[in-house]
């Protein structure tokens, strides 16, 4: 029986060992895996033990951000506090991120307020799949963006319960009802409201991993 178990373990390691290591890197785990469970790592890997752990606060451009995880080759972060000013998703009430006044503000005036950041930010491609599953809006690349419903669910345990009732997400409700945009509550539940209503927002960024060393994580 012991020999059978050993053979099964060997098969699982052979088939899934690389995935085990990749998940280990992505989560930036502290514990060490047994040497038999991993394969050699390529020298050009970009994920290192210097990356802040999910849930850690970091300072960037004089503001407090929370590390969520590795996404699209960078560190996904969300602002630790909502912006002071509540804003509509779109002044004309259209729930289309590509054309929204909020997108324009975040990637112009707000981005400039961060100062001279050089190549510290990566363009992040957001999935604009609507709540009803339709993909009419496609995807969009931005340096400043909002999290989607899916990313809020994925990183729920690391996102604080902000002292605000509702916040905008980047996820539209439905092309059929293109004046309604998805919102998320402090408890993590979702709803939808008209896009021209003023609401709280917490911007997100994707930080260049090569610039993270020396950043203040606590």
What is the mean pLDDT, run by run of 10 residues, along the chain of 218 residues?
Answer: 45 38 35 32 40 93 96 97 96 97 98 91 98 97 98 96 94 96 95 97 95 58
Cα–Cα distance measured from residue 19 to residue 206, given in angstroms and rounded to the nearest whole number: 24
Q: What is the pTM of this model?
A: 0.75
Cα–Cα distance measured from residue 76 to residue 63, given in angstroms and rounded to the nearest whole number: 15
What per-residue confidence (pLDDT) applies to 50? Answer: 74
Cα-only R_g, the chain = 20
What per-residue confidence (pLDDT) applies to 210? Answer: 86
124, 112, 45, 110: which is closest to 77 by C-alpha?
124
Distance of alpha carbon 7 from the chain centroid:
40
Residue 57's CB is within 10 A of a number of other CB atoms, namely 15
């Amino acid at each position: 029986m012991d020999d059978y178990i050993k053979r099964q373990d060997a098969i699982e390691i052979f088939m899934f060992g690389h995935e085990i290591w990749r998940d280990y890197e992505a989560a930036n785990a502290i514990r060490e895996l047994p040497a038999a469970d991993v394969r050699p790592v390529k020298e050009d890997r970009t994920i290192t033990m210097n990356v802040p752990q999910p849930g850690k606060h970091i300072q960037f451009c004089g503001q407090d951000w929370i590390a969520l995880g590795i996404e699209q080759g960078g560190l996904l972060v969300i602002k630790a506090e909502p912006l002071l000013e509540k804003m509509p998703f779109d002044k004309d009430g259209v729930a289309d991120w590509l054309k929204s006044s909020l997108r324009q503000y975040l990637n112009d005036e707000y981005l400039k307020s961060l100062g001279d950041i050089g190549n510290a930010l990566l363009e992040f491609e957001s999935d604009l799949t609507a709540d009803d599953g339709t993909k009419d809006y496609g995807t969009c690349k931005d340096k400043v963006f909002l999290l989607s419903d899916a990313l809020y669910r994925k990183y729920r345990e690391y996102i604080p319960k902000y002292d605000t009732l509702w916040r905008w997400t980047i996820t539209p409700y439905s092309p059929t009802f293109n004046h309604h945009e998805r919102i998320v509550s402090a408890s993590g539940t979702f709803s939808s409201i008209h896009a021209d209503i003023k609401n709280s927002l917490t911007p997100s960024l994707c930080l260049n991993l090569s610039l993270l060393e020396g950043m203040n994580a606590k």
